[in-house]
Every structure is written in structure tokens, then in C-alpha cells.
Amino acid sequence: MNTATPRIHEAAMRIFATEGGKTVAVSDLAREAGLSRGTIYNNLDDPHDLFTSVCETVATEFRSSINAACADMDDPAEKVSASIRLCVRRVHDDPHWGRFIARYAMLEPRLGSFWAEMPAEELRSGLISGRFTFLRDQVASITATAGGATFGAMSLVLDGRRTWRQAGSDTAEIMLRGVGLDPAEARAITQRELDPLPRLAVFDAA
């Protein structure tokens, strides 16, 4: 991927997040990205596919950055908590990203697919080890609940009704308590300091 493509995707994400819809005029995209129309055309196979490309880029970057942030964690509870809290913090650090996710996550399965991957694996791991207590066939329901609750927490931050620390920690604590952790331990895990999500290469050139 050349340096122009991430810049185009970042600009498109900002436009989609602010204005809605799934199409964008090339002139608006060029203005937002600070590039010429010719550069836009030279780096897009089909402008009509841009929304799909942005969704895939956002989903890939988020999945990769969460996995990188949690790479040194061994406790399934800590990983589930970090996934929720870092997602909510990302809204504070990058409101356009947050608004894009808030607008489209329920409509575009690829944007919410993360919750059926790493968090689901950690839930299964925690269940097998005895760290969590729930029925085996409840994993899908729990991950769907975690995803929905996280998107709700993101909206609280975007609307200025809660800080990212409050919304992220509260949501993570509720989820950990729901899978069987002692309330005091759930609170302790969700109060630990976390570094912000690393910014990975797919958007680095923006």
C-alpha cells in the first residue's frame, strides 16, 4: 500500500463519520485528504468501492492494534477488559474513528466481527481454565453483549455524557462480573492503567 492510499482512506472515514452515507464525491475526498483529484483516481480502482475498503481498513487496523496491545497479557479477564476499555479510549483519542464505528458497526458485520474473534477465544479459554463461569453455548451471546455494550459506551463518550475512563471501566467491569469474576477483582482489573492503542501502518501515512 503506497502512502496515498491510507491518506485517502483516513479522509474518507472522516467524511463518512461526519456526513453519513456510503458514497463521497471525489472533489470532497481530494479536499479532505489534501490531494489532487488525479491522485485520488490513480489510487482508487473504483471510487464506488471506497466505503467497503474503508470498513475493511478500519476493521483490520482495530483488530491488529488490539491484538498488539494485549500480546503480553496472559489473563483472559485482563484481555477482555482491555479490549473493551481500549476501544472506548480510542473514541476519545480519535473521535472521527469513533463516530464512524458508531454509525456503521450495526450495519456492517465486518466492523463488529472482532468481538467474535479474540474476545470469544479468551472467553473459551477462561471457561476451560475455570477463570470464568457460564454455559459453553453462551459464548456467542456474551460476545454480542460485549460488543453492543462497548458501542453504547462509545456513544456515551461521543455525546460527552461520560469520560472514556468511566465508560470503558464501567462496561468492562459489568462484563467481567457477568462471566463470574468477584466484584472486587473485576473492579481492580478494570482500573489498571493501559497504554493507548498503537497506531498501525494502515493509517500511519494519513
Domain assignments of the chain as residue spans, ordered by start: 4-50, 56-194
The predicted-structure confidence for 180-203, as pLDDT tens digits, reads as follows 999 999 999 999 999 988 765 544
* Exposure on the CB side of residue 1, measured as CA atoms within 13 A: 15
Q: How far apart are CA 113 and CA 105, in angstroms?
A: 9
In angstroms, what CA-CA distances link 75 with 2, 80, 185, 196? 38, 9, 12, 19
Looking at domain 56-194, what is its CATH homologous superfamily?
A: Tetracycline Repressor, domain 2 (1.10.357.10)
Q: Record the cell numbers describing residue 206, joined without a space.
A: 494519513
Q: What is the mean pLDDT of the chain?
A: 91
The pLDDT, as a whole number, for residue 200 is: 52
Residues contacting residue 122 through CB under 8 Å, at least 6 positions apart: 76, 79, 80
pLDDT at 204: 46
In CATH, which of 1.10.357.10, 3.90.1640.10, 1.10.10.60, 3.40.640.10 is domain 4-50?
Answer: 1.10.10.60
Burial class (CB within 10 angstroms; exposed 0-12, middle 13-18, buried 19+) of 6: buried
pLDDT at 110: 85
Tell me which residues of the chain have a pLDDT lower than 70.
Answer: 1-2, 199-206
| pTM for this predicted structure | 0.88
**CA nearest neighbour of 98 among 53, 148, 155:** 155
